[in-house]
Structures are given as structure tokens and as C-alpha cells.
Structure 1
Amino acid sequence: MSVHQPRPVGVTPVELRRLGSLSAALLTAAALTACSADLVEADDAKPSAATSSTINPSGAPGGTPDGAGLRLADAIKQIPVAEEKRTGYERDSFKHWVDEDGDGCQTRDEVLIAEAVTAPEQGARCSLTGGSWLSYYDEVEVTDARKLDIDHMVPLAEAWDSGAHAWTPERREAYANDLGSDRSLVAVTAKTNRSKADRDPKAYMPPAESARCPYLEDWTGTKLRWGLSVDDAERTALLDLAAPCEDSVVEYEAAP
């Protein structure tokens, strides 16, 4: 089945996203310094300027199959620009929280299991007890899964506005239950999810400072993965917000 890969215990959602952006150059550098007497923690540093050699020089859209990424600002510029179209949107146009593989766990449960810092116990019909999560939007630790929402990184209404209005119902369902990328769906506190609602980054950014750049990476990667567009105001806002994120790299794989 195509689901989130389980995250190592103790690795937060933000760290997972940052680790996913590390290039081969950084790994090589670590190997070369392995004989040093001083051990270096893997998550002590963000990707540095040394990783720039792995950036896709063509800047071409369509994913990064060779493992290279795009600098955040360059990735934003790859998103097609078009006017938004809200006409006809209904939340029910996106069938979500399905049991895609028939294992008894709906999409919501799959995300909770994958993003748990401490794994919950799984009972009948995928009922979850115990466990802990870190909501990366606000850096809040949660020990009750009922207090978490599963946020569509690019909200359903925003996706509709940005191109999903022209999709088939089947593709909209695939989008709403996208377990093929760990940036498409994320477990966060209900408070932050409902504060965000269907707003794009020009109107909403997560309250935690540490979440800002990863959030922009995730938003941009999701739009590129699904071929969604931005309007002029959103593009301008994304580029302005991305200015402090000099080390941010976006990697994505085009949705099937």
C-alpha cells in the first residue's frame, strides 16, 4: 500500500521534513568527517550552502527523480500562475477518509500512525489508544488523538480553486487521501487547523517560528506534486515569505 513511511521514534514532523531535504553532498561530507573525534548530531544543522551542487540546474518542473531538489524560491516560480475558480466547490466533491487498502484503517488513522512520536496501540477497527504526537504548526505535544485534526496541506477548497475543479471525482478522491507523500497530509492540533481553514499562505502561516520554512516547502511541494496553480497574489506572498528561507529545498514526486 502507498502510505506514509513510519517515522523513527523521537523524530518530529519538522525534523523529518528537514532530513528529507538533505542532499547527497551533506551525507558525503558526514562520511568524510566520520573519523573526527567529535561526533556531529544529524539534526543539528540545516542544509548548508554546500548542498547547492545537488540543485536541479534546469529548474524544470515534474519532480526530482534523481534525488535533487529545487531551492524554495525556484520551486515557487515553477508553480503555474492562473486565476482561482471557486464556482461549484463543495467539500463533498472530495471523498476523503477512505480505507484505501482495506486494512481497517482510514486515511486519518494511517496519518496518525505514521506521524506518531510514540506509537499508539491499535485495536479493533483501527481504534487508537495512547501514543503521542508533535503538532509542528504550533510545537504542541498531544497525547490524545481526538485532539488532532488531519490537515490537507493545500486545503480542499484551495485545491479546487487551483485546478481540482477540472479533475475527475476519482482524482479528487486520490488528492484528499494522498498517502504517497508525507507533506500532503499532516496531524496538527485542531486549533491550528481550524484557524487555518481554507486560507493560503498570504492569509495564514503557522504560529511557530520553526514551522514557517518547512510549511512553505510543504505547501509548494504539494502544489507541484498535483499540478495546482497559484494566482498572482499568492505567488507574490510565497516569494516574500520565502526570503528568509535560504537553506530550504523542495523535493517532490508528481502524483500518479
Structure 2
Amino acid sequence: MPTFRLVRRSLTALGISAVLTVGIAGAADATPPGIPSAATAKSNLATLTVAPDGTLDGYSREKFPHWIDQGNSCNTREVVLKRDGIGVTTGADCAPTGGKWVSPYDGATWTAASDIDIDHVVPLADAWRTGAAKWTTAQRQAFANDLTGPQLIAVTDNVNQQKGDKSPDAWKPPLTGYWCTYARMWVGSKYKYKLTINSAEKTALTSMLGRC
């Protein structure tokens, strides 16, 4: 039986506070495809090239065209919102009109799509620093809209903003129980796209996979 606690989320723009119920022990519902097993992730981590991160010279999010059209009037964000949500209903334009989302990073449950960000598990800026600067625009677009790998996931918006472009040595999901899965997703994406990792990142990932 999951336990719950109350978390007060400040909505400063509205000058009010909202209280939401967070399931601490509940199972997360957002599950991207292609998450490697712990054993595979550990094996893949050992093969990743360890190198210092490159610079952000020349980087911009516009060089990773994202939320592209996926057919049926849906863009990538809308596809992930429907995939990772529970009982999601949509209008003719594919925008959600109902449903709920459980963010696995912090356990929060939301009923408004505006409270949800689609996180790039390996942030676009991190990808740029670790190999994507040399990619074509088409390759960066494929990475930023990947619906077949563990690269996109629906999470609480302000938690995603706290993460920013940090790698696991600098940021981990607030729920420690999700660290194993997060590390598996991170390694899976870096391995799929042949991106490098730095030594601190590898140490953090090794530790997180040790929880699996």
C-alpha cells in the first residue's frame, strides 16, 4: 500500500499555492520504450568512451528541432503526453483535454498537461557537449524526438527545470528509488547515440546502477 505526503507547490506567477498529493511508494506510470536491463546498462556503460565534455560553443536548442509533427495532428510532445499519461483524452488537434500524469522523478500526480514537461533524459546541451555538435541537423532532430528509445519522458515541469542540462553527477531525480531506472535510461540513450561520458558522470552512473 503506497504512503502519501503533501507537497506544497508554489505558483508564484498566480500569487497562490497549490497542494498536491504525492505517492511516495507508488509505481511510476511514465515508462519510455527501450530501457535496457540493469545488466545490459552496466555492460553498455563499460563500453562508452570516457572523455572530458566539449564546450557549448555554437549551441542552441534550435539546432535540435523538436516537437515535430508525428502524424494524426500530433507533435512529439503530445505523443509522449498520451503515452505516459493515464486515461488521457485529446481534442481534434491532439492537445490533451483530460487525464493524469505521475512524474517518476518526484512521484507527483498532475491533471493538467501544462504542469508537465517532456524531459530529454540526456539534455540537448549535454548531447552537444558529448558528440552532437558534430551531427547533422537531421541527426539532432532524430535525437530530440526519439520515440523508440529511453530519451523522452513526461515529468513535473519545475523538476525538469531544476535538472536543466546537468548530468547525473550533478543532478539526480528527487526519488532515490528511481535512480536505477534513470541511470538505465541515461546509459541507454548515450549508448544508442554513441555519446561520450566524463569520469564524474561514469562514477555517478556506476553508483546508481549499483542500486538495481
TM-score by length of 2: 0.80
Q: Distance in 2 between matches of 1:132 and 1:156?
A: 27
- CA-to-partner distance for each residue in 1:140-166, whole Å, 9 max, x for gaps? 111111100000000000000110000
Aligned residue in 1 for 2:21 = none
1:126 aligns with 2:94: yes
Indicate how the Cα distance of structure 1 residues 11 and 115 shifts in structure 2: closer, same or farther if over 3 A, else same: farther
Aligned residue in 1 for 2:28 = 12
Contact 1:82 1:231 in 2 (8 A): yes
Aligned residue in 2 for 1:85 = 54
Indicate how the Cα distance of structure 1 residues 240 and 20 shifts in structure 2: closer, same or farther if over 3 A, else same: closer
Aligned residue in 2 for 1:163 = 131
- CA-to-partner distance for each residue in 1:63-119, whole Å, 9 max, x for gaps? xxxxxx73443322121122211222111111111103x32111000000111122x
- For the residue of structure 2 that corresponds to 1:13, the secondary structure is coil
- For the residue of structure 1 that corresponds to 2:79, the secondary structure is helix
Letter in 2 for 1:213: C
1:215 aligns with 2:182: yes
1:153 aligns with 2:169: no
- For the residue of structure 2 that corresponds to 1:157, the secondary structure is helix
Indicate how the Cα distance of structure 1 residues 168 and 195 shifts in structure 2: closer, same or farther if over 3 A, else same: same
TM-score by length of 1: 0.67
1:199 aligns with 2:166: yes
Q: What pairs with 1:1-256 in structure 2 (closer than 5 Å)? A: 12-13=28-29, 16=31, 70-86=39-55, 87-100=57-70, 102-118=71-87, 120-181=88-149, 183-245=150-212
Q: Distance in 1 between matches of 2:206 and 2:81?
A: 31
Q: Distance in 2 between matches of 1:199 and 1:18?
A: 22
Contact 1:18 1:214 in 2 (8 A): no
Identity %: 38
- For the residue of structure 1 that corresponds to 2:139, the secondary structure is helix
Contact 2:36 2:185 in 1 (8 A): no
Q: Distance in 2 between matches of 1:146 and 1:214?
A: 25
- For the residue of structure 2 that corresponds to 1:151, the secondary structure is strand
Larger radius of gyration: 1
Indicate how the Cα distance of structure 1 residues 239 and 92 shifts in structure 2: closer, same or farther if over 3 A, else same: same
Contact 1:130 1:144 in 2 (8 A): yes
Superposed CA RMSD in Å reads: 2.3
Q: Distance in 1 between matches of 2:50 and 2:35?
A: 27
Indicate how the Cα distance of structure 1 residues 149 and 74 shifts in structure 2: closer, same or farther if over 3 A, else same: same
Q: Distance in 2 between matches of 1:189 and 1:126?
A: 20
Contact 2:168 2:201 in 1 (8 A): yes
**More strand per residue:** 2
- For the residue of structure 2 that corresponds to 1:124, the secondary structure is coil
